[in-house]
Amino acid sequence: MTLAPPLAPAARIASIPAAHPYVRHVLAGSRVELLPDPPPPGAPDGRWWPPVMCDAAWVTANVDRFDLMHLHFGTESYPTGHLRSLVRALRGGGRPLVYTLHDLENPQLADQASHREHLDVLVRAADELVTLTAGAAAAIKRRWGRTAEVIPHPNVLPLGAPAPAGTHCDAYVLGVHLRDIRPGTDAVRAVATLLDAVDRLRGRGIAAVARVHVNERVRDEAARDRVGALVAAHPAAELRRAERLGDDALARSIADLDVAVLPYRTGTHSGWAELCWDLGVPVAGPPVGYASEQHPEDFAVFDAGDGGGLARAVRRLLARAPRPGSAARAALVAERRRTRVAGAAAITAAHTALYERVLA
C-alpha cells in the first residue's frame, strides 16, 4: 500500500485584521492558520481597531508566531512613521508582507494626504500586492510601477445565511443607506439627487419612491439634519432612522429595494455593491473609484448631483431587474449564491497560492 504524503503544515498568517468578514470569506475552507486579533486596550469585545498587530514592537515580540503578515485595513489609526517602523521590524524578523490595496482613497478620511503617504510606504515595501479590480491594478501600475494580482471580492452575505428576496411594494423603491455618514459619504448631495430623480421618474409616469436609511448615531449630525429636512419636504420620500442595523436586518432592508443608490464621495471598491449583488439588487452609483467594475452588468453610473442622470440609470436597471418579493428575484438570489459558492474555492485557492509563493 502506498501511503499518501503528509500534508504540509498550514501557513501562519498575521492578518490585519483577522475577524473582518472579507478576510474570513477569502480564506474560507483553507488550511491557513489566522492569528486572532489581539484586543486593543479598553476596546469592547469584537472590536479589532486600532489593530494591535500593526506595530513594530508587536512584530518583534511575536515574530515566532507567524510566517507572514497580510495587511488589509486599519492603517488610518497610525501615523506614517509607525508604518515605516512596522516594515523595518518585518524585514528584521525575516517576515514577508502581503498588502491588499482595497482603497486608493480611504473613505474613512476627509483628507487623503496621510493615506497617500501610507500607500507610498506599503506598496513599495510589500513582497506581494493584491487588489480587487483591473482598474485599480492599472492605477497601481501607473503610480508605483508595481504589479498587483487581481482577486475579486468574495461574497458579503454569508453563504450559509438566509438570503431574503424582499417584500413586494406597488411603487418602485429607490433606497440609499447613509449608515453613520462617514467622511466618504456625500449624504446631502446623494439624497438631493435621489429626490430629484424620483420627481423626474414620477413625471414620466413611473411610480417611484425614495427610502433613506440613516443610523441614529452618526459622525456628521449637521448632514443628517439636512437630509431629514430634505426628506420631510418631499411627498414621495421616507426617512428610516434607527440604531445601527444588524447583519440580518440590513440584508432585509436592502432586499426590499428595487435599486440601491450609492452615496459615495470618495473610495475605490465597494463591499456594499457586493452585498447588493448577493441580494439581487441592482446598484446606481457615481463614478468613484472602480466599484462599477465589480459587477458591471448590475451597476449603472450617474454623475453626483445629476438627478436626470440618476433617473436614466434607474430606468435602465428597472428594465431588466426582477422586483422585490417576486419569484424571479428569489430565483436570481439562488443563482447568485450558486455562483458565489463556485467562485469561493477559486478565491481561496488564489490566496493560498499567493502565500505559498511568498513563503517559497
Of the ranges 1-15, 175-189, 223-237, 296-310, which one carries the lowest mean pLDDT score?
1-15
pLDDT of residue 4: 34
Please state, in angstroms and rounded to a whole number, the distance separating the CA atoms of residues 38 and 52. Answer: 6
Measured distance CA(96)–CA(40) in Å, rounded: 24
Band the pLDDT of 330: cuts 50, 70, 90. Answer: very high
pLDDT at 5: 37
Angle of the 271-278 helix axis to the 327-359 helix axis, nearest 10: 130
Neighbours of 222 (CB within 10 A): 11
Model pLDDT for residues 32-54, shown as the tens digit of each residue: 999 999 999 999 988 999 999 99
Q: Determine contact, residues 10/32, Cβ cutoff 8 Å.
A: yes
- Alpha carbon distance 87, 60 (integer Å): 11
Q: Tell whether pTM > 0.85.
A: yes
Which is it for strands 97-100 and 33-34: parallel, antiparallel or unpaired? unpaired
Q: Quick one: pLDDT at residue 51?
A: 98
pLDDT of 6 over the 70 cut: no
Mean of pLDDT over the chain: 96
- Of the pLDDT bands very low, low, confident and very high (cuts 50, 70, 90), residue 162 is confident
Domains of the chain: 12-151 (no CATH), 172-334 (3.40.50.2000)
**8-20 burial, b for 16+ CB within 10 Å, e for fewer?**
eeebebbbbbbeb
The string of pLDDT tens digits covering residues 95-153 is 999 999 999 999 999 999 999 999 999 999 999 999 999 999 999 999 999 999 999 99
CB pairs under 8 A, 24+ apart, for 85-90?
85/56, 86/54, 86/55, 86/56, 86/59, 87/121, 87/122, 87/125, 88/56, 89/56, 89/57, 89/59, 89/60, 90/59
Q: Is the pLDDT of residue 1 over 50?
A: no
Chain centroid to Cα 222, Å, comes to 25
